[in-house]
Amino acid sequence: MDLTIGDLSRETGVKIPTIRYYESIGLMPQPPRTAGNRRLYGRAHLERLNFIRQARDLGFSIEAITTLIQLAGHPDQPCADVDRLAREHRGEIRRKIRQLEALEAELSQLIGHCAHGTVSECGILTALSQPAPSHSTAGDLRESSLAD
């Protein structure tokens, strides 16, 4: 099976610049090149890129995917490390869900103060002009989103 980078992109739904990025950081192995310097991908590349795509769709970080790929390279080893990684990731997702729920509640409260008058009377804009409460979980999410 010989695929061009365009074929690989279509097969996996991963954009060409992303494939090149994955190659540049070592997540994808470098493919062999033709005499004309075109990349040719095989079944192993397709399988690896599908693995990466699905892991990214589940929200795993590049670092976690790198670890998962390394662990997958040792099929006879116990899967405890894979399980641990998945559980840690699930815990992070649950934390983010709690933060998003707090953010939703905060935004719902702001919307509830809307009097549907003029912009000069807008309770939402007035509230956004005030300092954020120091105990705001939603504020934590906003700050962590900026760091991501």
Do 62 and 108 fall into the same domain? no
Tell me the mean pLDDT in the region 40-54. 96
Which residue range(s) make up the domain with 45? 5-72
pLDDT, tens digit, for every residue of 90-142? 999 999 999 999 999 988 988 887 777 788 778 788 888 888 776 555 555 55
Do 61 and 106 fall into the same domain? no
Q: Using the predicted structure, report yes or no on whether residue 148 has a pLDDT greater than 70.
A: no
Among 19, 37, 72, give the residue marking a domain's end: 72
| DSSP calls for the chain | --B-HHHHHHHHT--HHHHHHHHHTTSSPPPPB-TT--B-B-HHHHHHHHHHHHHHHTT--HHHHHHHHHHHT-TTS-SHHHHHHHHHHHHHHHHHHHHHHHHHHHHHHHHHT--S--GGG-HHHHHHHSPPPTT-HHHHHHHHHHH-
pLDDT at 146: 46
